[in-house]
């Protein structure tokens, strides 16, 4: 099996957002290109393509990785979570996604999928992170709109909601974090 240029294609099977998926790609196809172009999961963004910006972040077996730095064939047999997989099963936004909306944690939105993946990975292992831990967790993700403070506020809001066990409070004010120190 080969592509139009005669380059050999490899069948890659993996679990993406809880579903078994497979597709054919060349050995040098990056994981982000495989996700976007072969599986048509375009929520994961491509920025720098050399491991700097974090826009392409996905979870590989529950750990955030840069999908532009991995070959798709390296992900074979693993579990991948993309931003599409963060939503609730009924398609509604997760607590974290809703908190980004409530706290204005995005402007152009280009960095947002990667920020959400980094933040979700943090909350999955530590539902009540300190502000330092939040900033450390998203430290590898660049926002060219420089909306970092609102992103931190969004993660703190999600943390408050999740730790409070309320899931989705009636209003953002129900669970808004205290204003961060300057």
Q: Using the rule CB under 6 A, is 18 a contact of ligand FES? A: no
Token pair of 85 as six digits: 């997989």
Q: Using the rule CB under 6 A, is 47 a contact of ligand FES? A: yes
Q: Rank residues 55 and 122 by Cβ distance to ligand FES and give the closer one.
A: 55
Q: How buried is residue 28: exposed, middle or buried, by Cβ count under 10 Å (0-12/13-18/19+)?
A: exposed
DSSP percent split of the chain into helix, strand, coil, nearest 5: 35, 15, 50
In angstroms, the Cα distances linking 46 to 32, 65, 68, 178 are 7, 13, 8, 34
The correct pick among 7, 13, 18, 51 for binding ligand FES (CB under 6 A) is: 51
Q: Using the rule CB under 6 A, is 72 a contact of ligand FES? A: no
Binding mask 89-128 for ligand FES (x = CB under 6 A): -----------------xxxxxx-----------------
Dihedral angle, C-alpha 19, 25, 27, 30, nearest 10 °: -70
> Which one of 13-21, 35-43, 48-56, 95-103 is the stretch in contact with ligand FES (CB under 6 A)?
48-56
Site of tokens 């579990």: 79
Q: Using the rule CB under 6 A, is 150 a contact of ligand FES? A: no
DSSP β-ladder status, 79-81 and 9-16: parallel
Least distance from C-beta 179 to ligand FES, angstroms? 21
- Sites of contact with ligand FES (CB under 6 A): 46-49, 51-56, 66, 68, 106-111, 143-145, 147
């Amino acid at each position: 099996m080969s592509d139009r240029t005669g380059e050999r294609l490899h069948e890659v099977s993996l679990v993406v957002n809880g579903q078994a998926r497979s597709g054919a790609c060349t050995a040098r196809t990056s994981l982000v290109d495989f996700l976007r172009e072969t599986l048509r999961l375009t929520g994961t963004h491509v920025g720098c393509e050399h491991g700097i910006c974090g826009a392409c972040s996905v979870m590989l077996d529950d750990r955030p990785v840069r999908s532009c730095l991995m070959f798709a064939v390296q992900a074979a047999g693993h579990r991948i979570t993309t931003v599409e997989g963060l939503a609730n099963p009924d398609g509604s936004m997760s607590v974290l996604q809703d908190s980004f909306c409530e706290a204005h944690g995005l402007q152009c939105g280009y960095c947002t999928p990667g920020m959400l993946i980094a933040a979700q990975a943090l909350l999955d292992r530590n539902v009540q992170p300190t502000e330092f831990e939040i900033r450390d967790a998203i430290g590898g993700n660049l926002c060219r709109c420089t909306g970092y403070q609102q992103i931190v506020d969004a993660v703190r809001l999600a943390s408050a909601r999740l730790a409070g066990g309320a899931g989705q409070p009636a209003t953002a004010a129900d669970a808004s974090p205290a204003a961060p120190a300057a």
